[in-house]
Amino acid sequence: MANRQYQQMNPEENANYYQESCKLYLANVLLTCQLKELLNEKNELLDKIERLEKSQKRRTAEESNNGVQGGGSNSNFANDKKRIRRAASQIERNYRCPVANCEKSYGSENSLIQHVKIKHPEADIKQVISQINIQQNTNIQNDDQSQDYESSQQQKKQKNNEREEDDDEEEDEDEDDE
């Protein structure tokens, strides 16, 4: 019965169905090819990921072995240069603890603030910071005054040296005149 219906169809309609089926077949073939290409790319990417993970694990194992031998350093910092720290005797300790009966002094304001927070939690940190700033201002003024004093002393020495040279020259001239 289906044959009869197909035979009864108009020849133009038969051509349209045939063209449509050919188009669908070609589209299916193209999609199949694209799908195969995508699967191949996926497999290649998975292989790359696997290789990278293996190499990362190998590097991590090597770095951890090197870290254990080198004193347990963190692998993130293995390639970084070690920061050279000053010896305690080289640090100029201009920041003194403002808390009563505390004789500590530090080389930086942040170190002093950390000391106050840890050792003197009862102290008001804002007040301590203002005292540090006042202390710094007086230190700067004292430094300026000492620099002024030193420069004035140097100027005096220069003047004295110039006078002595002038006196020596005059004495030499007097001796030559005689």
> Exposed e or buried b for every residue in 147-156, given b needs 16+ CB within 10 A?
eeeeeeeeee
Q: How many CA atoms lie within 13 A of 97 on its CB side?
A: 19
Mean pLDDT of the residues in the chain: 77
Torsion angles phi and psi, residue 105, rounded to 5: -140, 150
Q: pLDDT (tens digit, 9 = 90+) per residue, 70-106?
A: 444 454 555 567 788 888 888 888 888 888 888 888 8
The stretch 12-31 carries a mean pLDDT of: 88
96 - beta bridge partners? 105
For residues 123 and 126, what is the distance between their CA atoms, to the nearest angstrom?
A: 9
Provide the pLDDT for residue 70.
Answer: 46
